[in-house]
Structures are given as C-alpha cells and as structure tokens.
Amino acid sequence: MGKLLNSEQALQNLLDIIRFTENLSTKLHGLATRDEIFKIIEEEFTKSKQYSESILLKADNESKLNVVSVNIPGRLINIAQKATGLRLKEYSVDLNKSNLYRQVYQNGDTIHAQIKNILEELFPKALYVMLSKILDFKDKSSILAPLRIKGKIVGAFSMTAPELSEEFIPSVNNLVAHISRALELAETHSMQLKAEDNYRELIKNIPAGIAVSTPKGEVIEVNNTLLQIFGYNSKEEFLKVAASDHYYDKADREKLIAVRKKGQVQFEARLKRKDGSLFWGLVTSKNHKASTGELQFLNVVQDISNLKRFEEKILFQQEELATRARVIKTTLSSFDLDNNLNSILNEIMSLLNIEYGGIYLYSEQRFVLRAWKGVSDEFRAQIISFPENKIPDWMKDYQIIQEPLSKSGKAPDYFKREGIQTWTTAPLKFVERDKEHLVGILILGSRRLKAFSRQTIDILKPLREHLALAIERVLRFREAELRLVRLKVLREIDRAIINKFTLKDILDTVISNIPREMGADAVAISLIKETQQTSLFSMHLPNGTIIDEEAFTIADSLLEHFIRRKEAVIISDLSQDRRLQMHHKRILGNQLVSYLGMPLIVKNHTVGILHLLTTRKKIFAAEDIDFFHTLAGQAAIAIENAKMLEELKKSEENFRLLVEGVKEYAIFMLDPEGHIISWNSGAELIKGYKAEEITGKHFSCFYTKEDIKAGKPEHELTNALKDGLFKGEGWRVRKDGSIFWANVIITAVWDKSGNLRGFSKITRDMTEQKQAWEKLRKSEANYRLLFDSSGTCNWVASSDGKILMINKNAASLVGGKPKDFKGKSVYDLDS
C-alpha cells in the first residue's frame, strides 16, 4: 500500500499532478496521428521535470508489448544505451514473464508499483540496477494503467514520480482515458484516410467506355476505353459499324431507344466485340444537350462480364450451400437408407446439371449399385455390382474422364451406347479414429463433354463427405437395429418355445421366427438319431411355406463333420459343392446358393442341425455365425426340455452382453415411473455415469433445466406409452455438466399379460452432425451479413430481370428499402 496523503506537501503534489494531467488531456484534443500524440506526451512530461512516462502497445504477437513512447532525456537515454546496448523504443515486454504488465494488460487493473520492481521485470538484474542509477529512478514509484481502444486493452501507460502514491490513481486513470480516446480517434482518422485513398484509386481505375450518339442512333464520338472494350483499333473503324450491330439481341437496342426518352436509363445487355465474342455490358444513357443546342445521348458502357460471372458464382454457391443444407437435413431427419441415397443423388445431379448418377455401397466384398437415376435398364444391368477385386478401371479412385463417343479409351461399349462422354467417380469415405473407412462409390455422368471441372471436385468434396456420413449413420443405426431385432427374435422364440408342447411345434416356431434380414432366405432343422439318420425334418421356404419332407440330403462326410467336430459348416456356392444335394421338387426352383449349417448340441452330443440357406451368394460374417450359433443352442435346449430354465438364463445373459457390446448407443431400461434399472457400456461412454451411480435415478437427470421445467421427460414417456414408440432429438446433459445433441428412441415394453414393464431407451450422440448443420447455417448468415453490410450497391437478379436480393445501399440510392424491390424488375431501380 502507498503512503497516505497526510501533509500539505502531499496535497500540493496531488494538486500539481491533477493540473498537469488536465493540461495534457486538453492538448491531446484534435491530434490526428499516434506520432503527434506521443510527441505531445513526451514534450509535456519532459517540461514537467518531475514526471516521466512510458507507453507500451501490443505487438502482432499478443504475448509482447512494445515500447512506443518514453520521455527520458536524450542525454540519459544515450548513457543508458551505451551502458546496456539496448534501444529503449525497440524493447519488448514478454507478458509470459511479467507479473505487473500482465496484471495490467490481461486483467485491466490499474496498479501502483515501485519503479525498481518494473525495471526488474524488464531487464536482467545487472542491467536494471545500472539503469536505475543512470536514469535516477531510485526511490521513485509508478502507476501502471491499461490503455483501451474501442473497449479493448491494447497496451499499458506508466507514469513515474518521486512521491507517487495510490491516491494519484484517479488522476492517472483520467489522463489514460484521454490518451485512449486520442489514440482511438487517431486510429479512426487513419482508417478514414485509407478508405478515402482506396475510394479515389477505385474511381480512377473504373473501366468505363463513353459514347455520344444522336436521337437517330448514330454514334458520333467514343473514348479510347470504349474502343478497348469493344476491341477496335480506331474510332473510324468503330463508327463504320451500325449501333444496333454492337448488340447481340437487337431488341435491346430498340428497348434502349424507347425508354431513354424518360431521361437517364441503365440496363444490362449482351454486346458484341469486333472479333464476334460476346460480353456483358452495363449501359447507362442520359439525355444531353450539345453546345449547339441539339439533343444528344451520353452513353456509358462498362464491361461487367466478370461481375456477371461473379454473380453467377455467388448464385451457384448459394445453391451449393442450399444443397448441402438439404443433404444434411435429409441425413439427420431419416434413417431410411434408400430414401436418403435417392434424395442426396437427386440434389447432387440437380446442382451439377447432369443426366446420370449412381451410388454404390460396399457390402460383403462387393460394390452394389444401390441408387441410380437417368440410366437405362440395359446400362444398369451392366454396372449393377462388382467384386471388390474386379472393379473396372473407369470407377477406380477419384477421377474425371472425358472421352468423345468417337474415340476409344477407358469407356466400355455400354457407355458409348448410353451416350455418356464425361463421368467422374468419387470414393465415399469417412474418418474415424484417424482411419479412413470406405462405404461406397459415387458415379456421375453426362452426355456433354467437359461437363465436369476442378470446381466439380471442390463441390463434391463436402457433399461426398456428407453422403459417406449419411451412409455410415444409417448403417450404424441399422446395425444397432439389427442387433435389437436379433435380440427380439431370440426373445420371441424363447417365449414361443416355453408355450409349445410338441417338438414339431418347437421346430416350426424356430424356423418361422427367423426374419430374412437376419441373413437366411430359407431355414431348416433336421434332428439326428444315434444311428446318424434323420428322425425329423422341417423347412421354411423363401415364400413362407413350411414343408416336413426331407428336402435335401447331407453327404456322410458333412454329417460326420457336424457329429464329430461339432462345428459350423459354410458353403458359399452350393453349385460347386456336392455335399448338400437338393432333391425336393418344391425347393428346386428357389435357386438356393449359399449355406450355413449349425450343429444342435446337447451335453456335447450333436442331436440335430440348423440349416440356413440364401438365394444369392453370401459371405456369413462372424456376427451372423454367432447369432445362429445362439439360435441353434436355443433349439437344442428346446429338445432337452429339462435344460430350458438354464438356457433361458443364458439367453438373457447373451441379451445383456449383446446390449453391453453396443458402444455407439446408450441402451438402458426404465421402470414405468422413469427410473433407470439397466445400463450398458455405451450409456456409460456417452453420458459419463457408471451403472452403480445411475441405477435407481430418474432419467430426467439427463435433461436440461429448461426441458425439465417444460415437462419434456414426462411428455416423452407419455407419447411412448400412447404410441408405443417415441423418437426425438434434443440437448442432453452428461455427468460432468457438458451437453450433447442426442437422437433418442423410447419404446414402451409390455409383458405377455399386457402389463407395462417399463421403457427401453436408445440414445446416440449426434453433436458432430448438429455442429455441421449449425456451421452451415452460420455460413449462410455470414454471407447475408456480408452482402447487406457491403459499402457498395449490390443486388442479385434472375435471368428474367427479377430482383432476388438487394442491399440497403442499393435500395436507398433509388429512394426505397430492400423489401420494396424484392421480386420487382431491375428497371424499377431507375423509376
């Protein structure tokens, strides 16, 4: 703490500094530049002979402050510089190593400090001791205060005096406020001067051509800029051409003559150069009386081709942003994969104005055409699917190929017959944990040569990323959904088995409850006697028919495999493997292709076989095999009724493990009142609670205070109870208080007696997709802000001259507001 003012001398010191700061503040008024401000400050402090100052402003690197002003006498500065080798005005303060200046700059505090403490921060110990003696700073103190421009701290001001205490802080702060204001005005003045220079330079370099014509349309004078615009070498050469011949559409010339009698008119037209090339011109025509009193027209022509191209680019970018917004909305609003693919493909083709398109999905080591548009049935039959190791050259990697129909190259004959001359292919990939995952290929084509460009690649990059994410999102949802379906299948079969009494009923129940989406078009069960003969057979055909006659024969070697090794058998192509012989006339026409056989084992003894067959070639995944293995176990349990209760518990445990294994989704159960009764690892990962922490709590703890107050948790359970299912999205709260955007499915769960057991809830973290949408929305808002806040007159019109967008400058120029001109003709701007 500084010493309290307790003497007449101290009071005099305070009055002196108040007079000094007020006098200096007055002299700062009206200064136009920083240099002038710093000069006055240094002069006044030097005149005072008792005060000294320094000003430090932030460098480009905000961790440093540069010395820009100091009033130490030149003689002392020279002595200090020779002794230390330092130039004071070139010195920088490192805020990372400073306590006092960091407190002022970062916290905005005004502080009182001994000068030796300030020098100790600025220089090494040996130097600050030397400087303190040379500059006569012994026993002096300083007040450090932040300098602000437009409310932002930009540096620090230091005032030093022999008897300077904390009571002087208000006077110093008042001076600092005047210095800050002076610096702010100087900066504004500098920006105004720069803007004026830029404006004058812009006016100087506007490329405008001038032509003088008579009411009869005869051009009598032109300037050099006009000749350059139209590509003529001389005025005489230009004047030989009729005025109407300079217009691509002569009706534009007639329109000009008709409307300019009103006074001044301005319109856009396509004009012709000497070499026949076309350009967009902005023609401004005004009545003008010559010195002879004759009526003439002063015509100003500007080449606005670049502006038109820019407008077209802006319009295209707007459409691109709108397309991306619709793609994102489609992606986030639906889990219908086919609908999403077709919608996104339509958006991309419409944006690029092309005729052909297709989307391949990667599945079971093949690329299969899942969505298409514009292609003929013959062409689609040729490109419907390709094995991963036999992808044709024309669809490999990211490429643009342009090949005339008359030339041979990468395009196969069916491309030529379809009339495709340009096409591009783009792998659809998404990145997860720094690893790329290929989910498909996008192919686009056109009858036009050079229909694609580098811009196409730039446009497709974000769109194909959205498309890949859309596919990945739906596939993951379907994967989770499929897991739930599998669990439901197991549960339904469990329920059915418990209520069935005969072995035949149990077999029919098992084979009838396996949906085709589980990977089996036909399902059969054969039971084996100890003599290795079939004792009972039941088969569910692709058309839904159940037959009890043995429909195929298993070779002894295959049967031996099931009985001795007790392992699953996979045959990818039955036509190439004769160990399974189809002989029943009712199944020969089904063209069954792939086979998975799963032994039914009880007490380490094979009692039967579960057969799964497909109508198209299939590679059974490990998850498929695991599922059917579980199913075979249940069938075996049904055979050994005594083991029913034990295996039922095992099935429930499998259910729990399967749910626990879903990491991408939070899956948990609620009791009828909404309290949590089960919790999987995905829920722990997404929401942050361990099972023992959250079990028994009400699920409303995941909602924001606003949603709880609005009754949203109860509302969602009510809807799920009413409709059986509730789907929605919204902000949810993790254990640590952070929020995330969640996709939620709540399903009411009933027991066989129709009593409500509770609710199942599935939650997925959709924050990244939500942020992508918000980023896009802000991008559009930023564009609108840039358009509206531009210092120039801007408007955007459609091809038929209707105003689509107009900013305030343009509207006010013609005496109106933007809303007055929307949808009107550009000619209304001159009315």
Region 443-464 average pLDDT: 79
Q: What residue segments make up the domains of the chain, in order of their start?
A: 8-196, 208-303, 310-480, 500-658, 661-769, 771-830
- pLDDT for 200-212, tens place per residue? 454 334 567 888 8
Q: For residue 199, name the pLDDT band (cuts at 50, 70, 90).
A: very low
**What distance in Å separates the CA atoms of residue 805 and residue 788, rounded to the nearest whole number?**
9
pLDDT of residue 739: 92
**What is the distance of C-alpha 19 from the center of its chain?**
59
**What distance in Å separates the CA atoms of residue 134 and residue 80, rounded to the nearest whole number?**
7
Q: Do domains 8-196 and 208-303 have the same CATH topology?
A: yes
Q: For residue 332, name the pLDDT band (cuts at 50, 70, 90).
A: low
**What distance in Å separates the CA atoms of residue 828 and residue 490, rounded to the nearest whole number?**
72
Q: What single-letter DSSP state applies at residue 664?
A: S
Helix 644-660 to helix 622-639 angle (10° resolution) is: 160
Residue 603 has pLDDT above 50, yes or no: yes
DSSP 702-733: GB-HHHHHTTHHHHHHHHHHHHSEEEEEEEEE
Token reading at 659: 């749910």
Q: For residue 743, name the pLDDT band (cuts at 50, 70, 90).
A: very high
Token reading at 753: 């007696």
CATH class of the domain whose range is 208-303: alpha beta
Whether this model's pTM surpasses 0.75: no
Yes or no: domain 310-480 corresponds to CATH 3.40.50.300: no
Q: Which residue has the tokens 């002069």?
A: 43
pLDDT of residue 775: 83
Token reading at 276: 């026949």
Q: Rounded to the nearest 5 degrees, what angle is found at the Cα of 776, between the Cα atoms of 772 and 777?
A: 115
**What distance in Å separates the CA atoms of residue 102 and residue 65, rounded to the nearest whole number?**
10
Contact (CB, 8 A) for 327 and 470: yes
Cβ neighbors of 574 (< 8 A, separation 6 or more) are 580, 582, 592, 593, 594, 595, 613
Most confident of 17-31, 202-216, 776-790: 17-31
Kindly report the backbone phi and psi dihedral angles of residue 812, in degrees, each rounded to the nearest multiple of 5, phi listed first.
Answer: -70, -25
CATH class of the domain whose range is 8-196: alpha beta
Choose between 630 and 691: higher pLDDT: 691
**What distance in Å separates the CA atoms of residue 426 and residue 219, rounded to the nearest whole number?**
55
- Strand 795-797 to strand 356-363: parallel, antiparallel, or no bridges (unpaired)? unpaired
Residue 673 has pLDDT above 90, yes or no: yes
CATH class of the domain whose range is 661-769: alpha beta
For residues 148-161, one letter each, b for 16 or more C-beta atoms within 10 angstroms of the residue's C-beta and e for the rest, the string is bbeeebbbbbbbbb
Pure H helices in 500-560:
503-512, 556-560
Q: Which residue has the tokens 């089960």?
A: 678
Yes or no: domain 500-658 corresponds to CATH 3.90.700.10: no
Q: For residue 642, name the pLDDT band (cuts at 50, 70, 90).
A: very low
Region 495-502 average pLDDT: 65
Choose between 465 and 720: higher pLDDT: 720
pLDDT of residue 204: 39
**What distance in Å separates the CA atoms of residue 763 and residue 760, rounded to the nearest whole number?**
10
| Three-class SS state of 272 | strand
**What distance in Å separates the CA atoms of residue 462 and residue 321, rounded to the nearest whole number?**
10
Residue 749 has pLDDT above 90, yes or no: yes
| Three-class SS state of 375 | coil
- pLDDT for 531-579, tens place per residue? 555 555 677 777 667 777 676 677 777 777 788 888 888 887 777 777 7
